Amino acid sequence: MSRIKGNLKLVQHAVYPPKPHWTPDQLPDLSGRVMLVTGGNTGIGKEMIKELLKHNAKLNSLASVRKAAEEFLSKEEALHTLFNNAGVMWAPVADVTADGYDMQFGTNVLGPFLLTQLLLPALLKGKASSPDGHARIVITSSAYAYLGHLDFETFKDGPARRKLSTEELYNQSKLADVLVTFELARRYGEQGIIAVALNPGILKMELMRHINANTINWPAPMGAITPLYAGAAPEGLKLNGKWLIPWAREEKCCNEQAYDEKLAGHLWDWLEEQVKKPGQVNFVNGLEA
């Protein structure tokens, strides 16, 4: 029954959403605010950058994680919004990262988690100089999170992972994004950091390069509406720990695992262990101990 419900929500929210009630033209002046968008060379990220620049924000679009954080921190002390937008969809099951993780989990979950950890000090500084007294983390998930189920044995390459389809691996990565977001909201909300997860819609963009299917795809600029609303609109201040659907609408994520705090804590601990450098202790409250 839950899988049927998830499929219905996917169709309703991603394929046939209602007309937008908010557009990027309604963004306020963002002068002085520093915003970082991952995956900004194509698709949603590129469209977000276009709109943010129109409203006077400062940006960087970076690819690799530690290098990206180091490069950013060498130029900026404070960060006001981090858009974790980069991702890969339905990559061949044979694809793994250089470190042996499932390609989709490594790209969609582990990399953004590390980048967020490395930039948390800058985000905490950013809230102090933000006009609204907050910094924001916006994580692009997917409608396919509705169909996800976490299996920790499949995050790294191995027999269990190879039994899953690329769709199942993608679904679990996008559910993991939601769990990480909600855990961020719980851990850092009282410190002035707002974390929001969202389904941007089913879009025509480079992310779909591994897909050979005829579906209803919305133009990429439409996919920028929801993350921009969460990350830069004044209304975003009310969205900590929330799930957004197209276009810029709040709703409860219908995958009940998304609200499992014990599971989220277990996932967080697992991710922290993976991103430690040899001889380095875990992150404490977002800072290296």
* Pair 142, 194: CB distance under 8 Å: no
Query: Which residue, among 111, 224, 245, has the nearest Cα to 177 in the 3D structure?
Result: 111
Query: Which residue, among 6, 286, 2, has the nearest Cα to 146 in the 3D structure?
Result: 6
**CA-CA distance, 194 to 216, in Å (whole number)?**
32
Residue 221 φ/ψ, nearest 5 degrees: -60, -30
Q: Biggest alpha carbon distance in the chain?
A: 52
DSSP E strands, 184-255: 193-198, 203-204, 218-219, 242-245, 249-250
Radius of gyration of the chain (CA): 18
Q: Write the DSSP string, 70-117.
A: HHHHHH-S--SEEEE-----S--TT-B-TTSBBHHHIIIIIHHHHHHH
Overall size of the chain counted in residues: 289
What residues are labeled active site?
A: 141, 170, 174
Q: Enter the tokens of residue 160.
A: 């269990």
Residue found under tokens 């990206």: 68
* Pair 273, 282: CB distance under 8 Å: yes
DSSP character for 150? -
